[in-house]
Structure 1
């Protein structure tokens, strides 16, 4: 069964607002209509521009859908109506637009995708500043953060992209003539967003982004048609690096050549030999990688059996136009017999230019010592000692038998000694043992003895074979030692990086945990994570003794980002540890980003709570605050009247006092809630007795209403006097109101680490499923007395949390509700 045809996507990409992308899209729509194509307009915004409105005339427009949001009606594209209409082509303006909340889909790009799935072609528009990958760059250029963005992949995978461009001067003239914005917006726009520098930078961003997309399309075409020869559509320079001292020279030469042509690419390539024989200096490779990045290039590592073939294959696949390779560092004799890498690359490159660069290391200068060994200094010294002692001891033992026919056995025994020395000390001690064994066998065991001459040709062959085998075995052992050392180091790095990856994916690490792990991994004395501030560096996280407080105060440093750096104090790190250290830096950057996101979420949540509180307060104020004010106003009007009698005057004064107290309670609760929501409550904690607080908290109620039952033996609590008094007063006042005349009991219950203050009422109680909700602001449940805003319990719980305690509700045996206020005991016991 054939899948339905997917609609084609054509994108008109604007280099800046006002360049005419919507006008160009409508022009294309009219041209297709003239050719008989069924074209409709799904959504176009003219922004009051006369020429755009004129171009829209005569085209069929699908009516928009109405969406209600917060009491206001908005219009959005009716995607379902467009699909039901099923035209051949639909025009959809502003691809990056976010739909009004309540719409079927969040982004207009999702609507476009749904239309394309229905087999309808889409013509759309988007500005370069709305591409997700360029959001940060656009903000740095213009100072404006684009809130509406679209993923690059949506635009990059379009079937056709048309760039709508205009020079900055021409665009500013359009702006000045009123063809883009209204007259009252022209001056502000010309002096802010539409400055020449901003428009030039946006134009360059659009051209570079589109060039990359065209380059990707060219690569797809070459692969689809199996075109292996590079097409020089763009200057790409591949610098082949061996890891030698000349690597930086080659990179700088390549960068200078790349700068001669705008848009050129610099690609650094290091080929790792598949046989593992050649081992490059990793510290130089790391420095070359950093240099390539600083020069604006990219760094790549590939594995290949033939280095020259690997370089050419990579350059061909990258569509390179030039390969830069250094002149061979080997001596003339080796170049004579084996040739050079540059010559082999030139013979294989075909149409790719090969540029040979001379350097100071040409001809063998500056080559590393051939006998450098990965073994420890102790093993090398032990090997050298054994390379002298063991052949001598073996000679003494063999001289005891003094059998002239045992030369083959002697050769095997000396070979065994050489292999043992190679296993212990590596290449150089093994060569010493082989040479010593050769001389000892020649002098003591090869006829004629006591002379360095050999009578039998077969004995000559045996001695030569012995030396050759000894050298071969020594080289194999030395190479195996190198590979084992590399394998152990690679395994350690892989284990560490895997651990880092797991911690990043699970989001478990904090900055403190990262620096602690880094100190343990590299055995450093101290590790610091520093942040750049307006007045210098500050310590974000530190581990160890005497951590550095500045980048120059440590022994090793690695940058996390532009504003953060990790400083290590202790023994200098090996160059091979650089990759792991950079992995730690990358993880630290993610940890800091997670921290910023969490703080942003917390701020957003706080703002959302504050907005909800403000909204609820405004709604409540319209009724609950007006009630006591209306009562006071009526009472005052009565008091100023001449006809009021003394008894009525006394009643009116009482009403004013009652309303004033009610109003004070409401305002106090509102202020307390505002302080709690804003995090401004700062308790002054100290040790004090409940006898200092509870009598004041329950005062003011009619006699017999509240019973205070607290023993003198109750231990001290660690709390704030005023805040605790306010919490208990709120709880008692609430209990008295719901008890309807029944006595409220205030008790104290001592626990090992806290003291519980129990406020027991005989009211109607609260069902268990509603007890948590009653602690939320503006929740009065079934209380219809109109005596408050429903803030008392919310304020009480907020203040309790600030005191380090808890507040919960339980059933009162026999009916009612018991509020349990838990307060920490003094001294933590």
Structure 2
């Protein structure tokens, strides 16, 4: 059991019936992953312990669901009688809330917190009754299953196919003083179910095949563990905040990797992953600091690729806003309770570090009790940002604006010189400086400010036409104007660059998100990703070519095309505006046709090309998996055919040969009874041989591809009842509803599967116990299960797979009990029609064979609205 909360288990034990609490009562919740894990028993055990310590404990309501063990655990605890009422002719019993409040015990037990009360009783939900009891100052111990939490309702429905009609708000459970997880492995719970400790015998088989499947229970258990783990983290964070604890508590190792977005990022992530991988219970958390002005300090494509790498290494990625990089990293690390930080060594030279200390050293100085790993790496070449900026600003229009804008403004203001004072002139010139900054950047704007200052001195400061300044304050004003002009130009340029970078980053993020979403869609991911890349970059055609590893373009082969026209098959990349290596080792090349891309788009193209390569890899893996599955099925069929020919044909042939030879022996006089026995044995062997040859003929046709299954919608009852022809009906108990959905299968082949499995069950079931045949729809799985249940000796789990190999007989039975090919043939035929055969225990002893067949014409089965009590 996992317990949360700072309130000890004995909370409230000192209060007896003679005391009357004034404060709100305390709530303790026993949380389970599924019905039957033991929540109610755990609650009753806690109640007995508290009573032994002198606490006044009563039972408000406990649901035993007919379980004797639960009633025994209830023992002699005081029980408040239930309230009885009639609803639509049915007598219902509910919690008697007024009686509980009048009794005013110290602690009251209330089972099934999410229960819906009968109409007219007061509160609609039982959890509302619990709130009233808590408000009265009475402690409550209650139970609830994870599937009844409101926030997980849709998740549970997606897993089990059942929408829980009875739910409880998460806040009600979160507010509990103690939450205790009652845990049990899926295997143990299924054994409890099989032994009849959870549901009545008549509901066990259906429950095991539906809600209580091992996969369902495993997923629900994980949900419960994660939910409680989150509550434990919340409790720890709350405790640290309440007590002002800012230091790191190494309850769990968390390695924080600080990323600048530079090329050394993958090295840091892999180093952090190696550190995190040295022991269990360690988390990898990557963080990149975004400045408050929106600038990321690195191309968005590089940040995105590092995010994908962090997630592929099992970690998480976070973007944090902050201007002080070192302080932001440290605050983040302490916020997530990080124990180690991995940061790259500074890329700046020693002289620069003397003037401006590196981020890594600042992190080391402020780390305190957090360990810092400073990882050295190869010096990274400085990006040619300045060269690109000069190339972009020194355009014809920018440099024309350097002189043209101040001259134009001076010419206009010259007409109104007598009505303008110097401050007004300088403000108008400042507008011109901002205009030049928007057009060309800082350098042209700074020159514009100088030119404007000279014109203001020459034309608008007395004496006119001279650079001499008569009044000192005008000289100071001109100097301040130049400084302010340059400063404003710098701010305007940075704002423009930040806005452009933000807009570009948003566009890149949208493109990468679209590509990632396309990867997750069903169908052919390669063509879809390639089309998304073409649209995202505004190209008319995108081509993926495999030219061969280690070569340039020998014998190129076009793998996929998106766009208007097919490329030249001899040279598919001829005329491409952008050519990118998608995977150099595999010789994959991505070609884009339309227009050249700017250099800033190169990293984004590389990321998209990598996604295209991943899409190709996924397509190839899916094709290989399909081919491997076909080969596996062929191998199963081939093995069954060869084994039958080499062994199983001999048994019926030997019987026929011996019987006929005996009848033809003239030296022996056979009585009429003996002759009938020999003829009956011959007839039975002939039937056995006919059935075997039919199986082998179908299997051989499937193997060679001559006979393909003819699948069409058919009813389950029609298939089952036809398969049972010739079997002893007295030993069969068939329960199949006639309103089940149609299944998509080959009726004849599925009949053979059912017949073989039922025949095998009849031969091994105990005398006097019929073989049960059930059929039902699997919620959320778009399939029907046919369950064949016998009560024989059963088969150990380790030997179940061997049952489907040829000539496997239970307990090495003699040949008279079967030829040992029926289950092998059944599995081969089931695979041919996309059906599956599973094996499970029969409650009380025996074996249950489960045939799962897809439903016809339905891609997805909607979840039905049933509550926990209807889960079976």
TM-score of the two chains, using structure 1 as the length reference: 0.49
TM-score of the two chains, using structure 2 as the length reference: 0.46
1 or 2 for the larger relative contact order (CA 8 Å, sep ≥6)? 2
